[in-house]
Amino acid sequence: MIIDLAKLEKICPECDGSGYIGDPEWNEYLKKEIEIIKKYETQGLKPDEYWPKVKTEMEKLGYFEPDGPEEYECPDCEGRGTVLTEEGMALIDFVKKYLD
């Protein structure tokens, strides 16, 4: 018998397979930052020209870099990016029976 390993796990729906989840505060901050960058880019400014302006504008709007990390390990898959399917769980249960 051959076990199809691909059927035992699936991409984690919580983090979409990345293993990490973006912090909501950071997501909001970065979204605003991108908005401002795009505005300067359409004006033809280069990164070294617009960066100081972006920072100043963000602070004027009340956006400050959040203290915590930008992303954290996905609690659903513990950073693996994959979770067990029902078949996978059944296999783990089976294996456990002989490991305990």
| Distance in Å, CB of 21 to Zn ion, minimum | 7
Q: Which of 12, 36, 50, 54 binds Zn ion (CB under 5 A)?
A: 12
Facing residues of 82 across strands? Answer: 11
Q: How far apart are the first and last CA of the chain?
A: 24
Question: Is residue 71 within the footprint of Zn ion (CB under 5 A)?
Answer: no
Furthest-apart CA atoms within the chain: distance in Å = 66
Secondary structure (3-state) at 50 = helix
Q: Which of 9, 14, 65, 73 binds Zn ion (CB under 5 A)?
A: 14
Residues that bind Zn ion (CB under 5 A): 12, 14-15, 74, 76-77
